[in-house]
Structure formats: structure tokens, C-alpha cells
Amino acid sequence: MSTSTTSAEAPSAKYDLNGDGSVSPIDVLLLVNRANEAQENLNASVATVIVLDVNGDG
């Protein structure tokens, strides 16, 4: 039996942005930073909401 974690086994693995094996506050900061960088090119009248599903309930 394998104990490795893949993105198919753990949906939260896609939020492990720094690659340390777990979703941490650093990953949340990286996600927010990427979202803010992406919004720099958008029209100011368009509001985009970024939601991180931290408990995995969808």
C-alpha cells in the first residue's frame, strides 16, 4: 500500500503552491499574491472573488 499523496488522492494538493507537502499560510499568501497580480490587468470596475476551500467540502 502506497502512502504517497497525489493530487487525485488529496484535492488540497493543488493549493500546495510552495511544494512543501502541505497547505500552509505561506500557500495562502502565494495564492492571494497571484490573484492580485492577475487583477492588475483587469478593469477596475470588474470584481473578482477568489475563494480557497480550506476544509474541502466543495
Per-residue pLDDT of 4-20, as tens digits, reads: 555 455 667 788 888 88
pTM of the predicted structure, to 2 decimals: 0.48
What is the domain extent for residue 22?
A: 1-58
pLDDT of residue 4: 52
Ramachandran region of residue 40, left (φ > 0), alpha (ψ -120 to 50) or beta?
alpha
- Kindly state the helix (H) or strand (E) to which residue 38 belongs, with its residue range: helix 25-39
Mean pLDDT of the chain: 72
Q: From 48, 26, 31, select the one nearest 39 (Cα to Cα).
A: 48
pLDDT in tens, 22-40: 888 898 888 888 888 877 7
How many other C-beta atoms are found inside a 10 Å radius of the C-beta of residue 14?
9
What cell was used for 53?
476551500
Quick count: other Cβ atoms within 10 Å of Cβ 19? 6
